Amino acid sequence: MNSARPLLLAGLLLATTDSSGFESDVHYGLTQWLARQAGFDEQSAETIATGDQRVDSGDMQYLELVLAYACVGQEDLGSRLTGEHHYPSAGTVPGPPAARAVLPGGDAAKKAALTVVKVPAGQANYMLFRLGEALHILQDSWSHQGVPDTPQPGGAFFRCDSTRAWGHPATRGGWNSHKADLTMHWPADTRAMAKATYEVLTQYPILSDARRTARSWEEIRPLLDGFITASTKTEKKRWFVSQSISDVSFLEGISLRDGAQPFDLKRKGRKRTGSIHSRHYKRQCVLIPRVPWWLSMWILCRQIFTRGPKSCGKCTKRLPLPSNLLRKEEIESSICGQTGRHLFSRF
């Protein structure tokens, strides 16, 4: 290992220590609640929320992905899919960031939703995941609105390609901040995002022969205030429980502090809501053999600490690791070690 590599590895680690979990309070919890208000039964509401939450891996906690497609590697497919799912814009990749600005509720953001609500009535039961996916894109157009920032986790060591990278816009806090996704900072945007979500849900065809009775938007709008202003996990939990959603384990991964009470629930059905089985995760596995071994080691460290050693599976086998470090136990103890355990446990 030459002297630059440990420094670079340390730089990458430090660059991501502000990152945290996916903001499932919106993508899972709020979507589930809105679906119930729109008249969906509990199980259907959960399915829609799961479909929404599964569109993960495009955000800052998945920084390794942007490293693979826009920094160390340059790969148009990864960049294009990240844009389509999390930064809907009229622009194409590669292309200058200003041409790829995200418009909240714009045509690109609404496209998938407009398609999914046209599903024939007979197929509506089987397209709830797709509905969730479309809602995710629409929702992200509010949190990620503006000109995408270019992550620069490599500092002076390498630059990321601004024509392919997607990061939280500078006007929303920039690539290295979670502010863009935290509802308490953007009450008007969060309300508008919820309203757009609700409109799509109410337009979705009826399931089987079960008619839905949706509450009026005016009736539910004031109820959102407590959700929007909640600034800790305790406050978010309190709101969901007050709204008859008692299983709040989905809040485990969000980046807000615990608050008044320690939050020790473990996310249920992690397989369903986590990224391990998602298309994005598989894509990431395809991409990583092309990155240098030191970066693959960093990716592996993160996988061990964020998803557990078992989750590495096939992905681990594809990593271009040097032969003397092939055993992940050795990597865990030598490279990740106590420092890694400390850093990655925060993701």
How far apart are the two ends of the chain, measured CA to CA in Å? Answer: 27
Residues 239-268, one symbol each (x = binds Zn ion by CB under 5 A, - = not), give ------------------------------
Tell the smallest beta-carbon distance from residue 85 to Zn ion (Å). 6
Q: Which is nearer to Zn ion, 46 or 181 (CB)?
A: 181
Q: Is residue 25 close enough to count as binding Zn ion by CB under 5 A?
A: no
Q: Which is nearer to Zn ion, 40 or 166 (CB)?
A: 166
Question: 124 near 206, Cβ under 8 Å?
Answer: yes
* Cα atoms found within 13 Å of the Cα of residue 271, Cβ hemisphere only: 2
Question: 42 near 36, Cβ under 8 Å?
Answer: yes
* Among the listed residues 140, 149, 189, 235, the single contact to Zn ion using CB under 5 A: 140
| DSSP state at residue 46 | H
- Between the CA atoms of 63, 66, 72 and 77, what dihedral angle is there, to the nearest 10 degrees? 150
Tell the smallest beta-carbon distance from residue 57 to Zn ion (Å). 8
Q: Which is nearer to Zn ion, 181 or 189 (CB)?
A: 181
Part in contact with Zn ion (CB under 5 A); list of ranges 133-141, 204-212, 247-255, 328-336 = 133-141
Question: 298 near 309, Cβ under 8 Å?
Answer: no
Tell the smallest beta-carbon distance from residue 325 to Zn ion (Å). 33
Amino acid occupying residue 5: R
d(CA 119, CA 31): 20
Residue 146: beta bridge partners? Answer: 102
Residue among 86, 113, 83, 112 nearest 100 (CA): 83
* Among the listed residues 64, 149, 181, 189, the single contact to Zn ion using CB under 5 A: 181
Peptide bond into 292 cis (omega under 30): no
| # residues contacting Zn ion (CB under 5 A) | 5
Tell the smallest beta-carbon distance from residue 22 to Zn ion (Å). 8
Q: Which is nearer to Zn ion, 149 or 235 (CB)?
A: 149
Tell the smallest beta-carbon distance from residue 162 to Zn ion (Å). 18
* Among the listed residues 58, 104, 167, 169, the single contact to Zn ion using CB under 5 A: 58
How many separate helices (H) and strands (E) can be counted in the chain?
A: 18, 0
Q: Is residue 270 close enough to count as binding Zn ion by CB under 5 A?
A: no
Residues 74-93 that bind Zn ion (CB under 5 A): 86
Tell the smallest beta-carbon distance from residue 235 to Zn ion (Å). 20
Block residue for tokens 């007979």 = 122
Q: Is residue 59 close enough to count as binding Zn ion by CB under 5 A?
A: yes
Binding-site ranges for Zn ion (CB under 5 A): 58-59, 86, 140, 181
